[in-house]
Structure 1
Amino acid sequence: MTLRHATLHQLRSFPVLARHLNMTRAAEELHLTPAALSIQVKQLAEAVGLPLHEQIGKRLFLTEAGRLVDAASRDILSRLAQLATDLAETQGLERGCLRVSMVSTAKYLVPRLLGEFCRVHPGIEVALEVINRDEILDRLVRNQDDLYIMGRVPEGLSVVVQTFMDNPLVMLAPADHPLAGLRAVDPARLEGENFILREQGSGTRLAAEDFFASHRLRPRVRMTLGSNEAVKQSVAGGLGLAVLSEHTLALDVASGAFAILDVQGFPLLRHWYAVYPMGKQLSTVSRTFLEHLAAAGAAQAAGARNYGPEL
């Protein structure tokens, strides 16, 4: 058996198929047609000399050879990425790549911090993924990025965690809500209110559910949405209350569409975390960006920067 005819392009494509186990979705991620991806996988199987997947009904499964090729491909790609980083570091901090994945709520904060970082280090290339928590954890397990930004520390994984900034959660209501403008609202007055929550597994939703449970509230969940913007628009439309990160409201200060309720126990103080696998050797670029995040958090704590709005 020889693998000399296997190409790097095929080795990059196969782990995507192995992750989705769906030719169409994998092809979409790779910006290929399903037919083109199918040809690549077939050619890789021919180079290996064994089938890499099998179709049972409408479902696709990896063969044992496919699982071995998937693991080896990811190892090869990881080593090549590390080689690129090592070579860049021989040229100093002003060259190299920073790969960051973050949960969607962090898009209201982290791109600004990345922008500041890149203005100081303009030669650094940034690859940024904005995805949901489940996808973040999948990428973390696969060690696909340098750093992972999230609002809740992953459980059951061997990781290094750096807290870098507060992430207060607020109770959002339509501007004309009866509780708007009242002081120290008793949580019991939320009983019977309609709520719009983020999707299951969201750190924001989990924090809200912990609050409800601690006060023995049974919220009426009117809608579950996977987007902060959709949640805000639904609140503005009078469909219910919501618990959101204050950072998500940074561009809504002047809209007049919302009120932040002064509910006892709010804001719920959470944090932003930068996470990476235990034992991972961080590049100089990654370590410097972690220092940048820590400095931004220290500035926020000192009141030198205001990342949250006042509605």
Structure 2
Amino acid sequence: MDSRHLSFRLLQVFRQVVQSGNITAASRLLHLTQPTVSLQLKKLSEVVGEPLFDYQHQKLQLTATGELLYQAAQDIDDRLSEFSQQLKQQRSGQSGNISLAVVNTAQYLLPNILAAFDQAFPAVQVTLHIGNRARILERFEQQQDHLYLFSHPPRGDNVEARSVVPNPLYIVAPRDHWATEAGLLHFEQLKQERFLLREPGSATRMTFDAWLSSQATVLPHSMQIETNEAIRLSVIAGLGLAVLSAHTLPTQMLLKQQIAVLSVQGFPLSSHWYLVQHANKRLPQAALKLQQFIEQHLREWQDPLQR
């Protein structure tokens, strides 16, 4: 059989004839003439290469080949009906696959939101990619994902960025550090401390470096650490001070006084999280649903240090 000559229309006519029991009834339902239906059946038989009906009986009777083709036609119709339903759900945003890429710090924002989104839209599959700023910028340039979460969004005409939630940056210290009992501090009082810094290019580092530059201040002692989790553990261990996003400071950690947030003039530094998409990439409905969901839930976030 040369499937290149097989069409959905031929199979539709064939199925209708089988279900109607005769050509006359089928032609009426298909709004075709009887000769046209007969011609379509003849053409289909030629494509298959074998007769589909036994015309020696008064009633149309399928041959063994006709039975096989009818089962195949039913399977195709079922799959097309399923496809139509899936397409309807996808267009409405009720199903689909979404790729979301976020910088390391943003991973603290999303678990509860994605869990709630999964309950609301169980047929939508979300793939989450986490990396440093350079890696997520690379994914953005290559348009590998539908949505991105940055503290410092990329620039350019191909960037669509929405500010969704504040991202205040605080100076934190070990709980037994002398500065925890000092009240309001000036940064000059902390200048000689060792600061634990993220790698150059990270959003937190960029914001802090810009602030230091605006104050004409250089840190004499610093240590670079590539993850917020490692920085938090290092602060708790007494290795130094750090500037961290409020989103990386779990309420439970603050309640247990594992880490202290210092009161420093000029802090917290102000920054925001931005939900970003590539202007050249059209978002499917499911991704639009996730975008709206993230925006709505992030607006509900409250800085635990300002409550």
The bucket for the TM-score relative to the shorter chain is 0.5 to 0.7
Cα 1:196–1:88 change in 2 (3 A) is farther
CA contact (8 A) 1:89 1:284 kept: no
Q: Considering only CA atoms, is the larger Rg found in Structure 1 or Structure 2?
A: 2
- Aligned with 2:126: secondary structure? strand
Q: CA deviation at 1:216?
A: 2.2
Does 1:271 find its partner at 2:272? yes
- Which residue is 1:101 aligned to? 101
- CA-to-aligned-CA distance 1:81-138 (integer Å, 9 cap, x gap): xxxxx94755632211111000011111112211111111111101100111111011
Q: Is the 8 A contact 2:151 2:203 kept in 1?
A: yes
Equivalence for 2:199? 199
**Equivalent pair of 1:146/1:276 in contact (CA under 8 Å):** yes
Q: How many residues align?
A: 222
Residue 287 of structure 1 aligns with an amino acid whose one-letter code is: L
1:255 maps to 256
Seen in structure 2, the aligned counterparts of structure 1 residues 105 and 236 have a Cα distance that, compared at 3 Å, is same
CA distance in 2, matches of 1:136, 1:254: 33
Relative to structure 1, is the Cα distance of residues 209 and 240 closer, same or farther in structure 2, using a 3 angstrom cutoff?
Answer: same
Given residue 189 of structure 1, which amino acid in structure 2 is its aligned partner? Q
Aligned to 2:231: 231
Q: Percent of counterpart pairs with the same letter?
A: 33
What displacement does 1:256 show? 2.0
- Alpha carbons 1:195, 1:220 under 8 Å: kept: no
1:177 partner amino acid? H
Q: CA deviation at 1:243?
A: 0.3
The CA deviation at 1:184 is 2.6
More strand by share: 1
* Distance (whole Å) between structure 2 residues aligned to residue 238 and residue 122 of structure 1: 44
In structure 1, how many angstroms separate the alpha carbons of the residues matched to 2:291 and 2:210? 30
Give the 3-state SS of the residue equivalent to 1:179 in structure 2.
helix
Q: Could you tell me how far apart the structure 2 residues matched to 1:239 and 1:284 are?
A: 47
Query: 1:212 aligns to what?
Result: 212
Note the C-alpha offset of 1:157: 5.7
CA distance in 1, matches of 2:303, 2:112: 10
Amino acid at match of 2:172: L
Contact 1:165 1:296 in 2 (8 A): no
CA distance in 1, matches of 2:259, 2:222: 18
Structure 1 stretches of 5 or more lacking a match? 1-85, 301-305
Q: Counterparts of 2:98 and 2:254 in 1: how far apart (Å)?
A: 32
Query: Do the aligned partners of 2:196 and 2:222 also contact (CA within 8 Å) in 1?
Result: yes
Residues 1:234 and 1:285: Cα distance change in structure 2 (over 3 Å): same
TM-score by length of structure 2 reads 0.67
Deviation string 1:156-213 (CA, Å, 9 cap, x unpaired) is 4621001111111110101111111333311221221110000111000111111222
Computed over aligned residues only, the root mean square deviation of the Cα atoms, in angstroms, reads: 2.2
Return the alpha-carbon distance in structure 1 between the equivalents of residues 157 and 185 of structure 2: 39
Q: Which residue in 1 is equivalent to 2:304?
A: 308
CA distance in 2, matches of 1:163, 1:213: 25
The 5 Å alignment of 1:21-36 reads none
Q: Which consecutive unaligned segments of at least 5 residues does structure 2 have?
A: 1-85
1:295 is aligned to: 296
